[in-house]
Amino acid sequence: MKGVHFHVAFVLLALAFTFASAFDPSPLQDFCVAINNTNDVFVNGKFCKDPKLATANDFFFSGLNMPGNTANQLGSKVTLVTVEQILGLNTLGISLARLDFAPNGGLNPPHTHPRATEILVVWEGTLYVGFVTSNPDNRLITKVLYPGDVFVFPIGLIHFQFNIGNTNAVAISGLSSQNPGLIPIANAVFGSNPPINPDVLAKAFQLDKTVVTYLQSRF
């Protein structure tokens, strides 16, 4: 009986590790080019076309050399290159982004990527970047980056990038998912649809309710 219990426990442990996987599935072929046809059926990723029908354009994107428009409230623009832009990224567990920042305060505000670690390299300008560790420490880890510098933001942690220079800044990010996801903290908390009950936010952030309703009106 002990042997039976051991085998049962082993199988359950193996299944637990399988279910706990939160990353893109390992490819079972050289590639799996996405096809935009779900017919009301959802899969972990996208459906795949016949590999024999793949072309070079399935693995190609052009235009990342073009500056993003930073004429907005935050003074930043993120240009994504995920599976939505390159269908050949499907199942490959990687994506890319170009980040443009206006001078003197362009900001990519605090946010998380629930499905990806991010590695960022500064191409132009000077960026103040950082992330916050999880509870109970909530430790802020920051660095000022210059052209050629590289910084890593661990998966799921709140992080930001801020242009502290008086010129434009440009960075390139690699992300360890074909679809890393994005949760801007302020938008998610104060701009949810429908809105979170202001009493909840007032107590959570130790703010006056009128301040909460004002912030909700801004998002």
Q: How remote is the C-alpha of 136 from its chain's centroid?
A: 23
The answer on whether 7 is annotated among ligand-binding residues is no
Beta-strand relationship, 140-145 and 127-132: antiparallel
| Neighbour-count burial for 86-104, b at 16+ CB within 10 Å, e otherwise | bbbbbbbbbbbbbbbbbee
The answer on whether 84 is annotated among ligand-binding residues is no
Residue 145: is it exposed, middle or buried by C-beta count within 10 angstroms (0-12/13-18/19+)? buried
Q: How remote is the C-alpha of 58 from its chain's centroid?
A: 22
Question: Considering only CA atoms, which of 11, 162, 32 is closest in space to residue 93?
Answer: 32
| Neighbour-count burial for 119-132, b at 16+ CB within 10 Å, e otherwise | ebebebbbbebbbb
Using CA atoms, how far residue 78 sits from 21, 89, 174, 199, 204, in Å, is 28, 19, 12, 33, 30
Rounded Cα distance between 169 and 153, Å, is 18
The answer on whether 108 is annotated among ligand-binding residues is yes
Annotated binding site: 108, 111, 113, 118, 159
Annotated binding site for Mn(2+): 111, 113, 118, 159
Annotated binding site for oxalate: 108, 113, 118
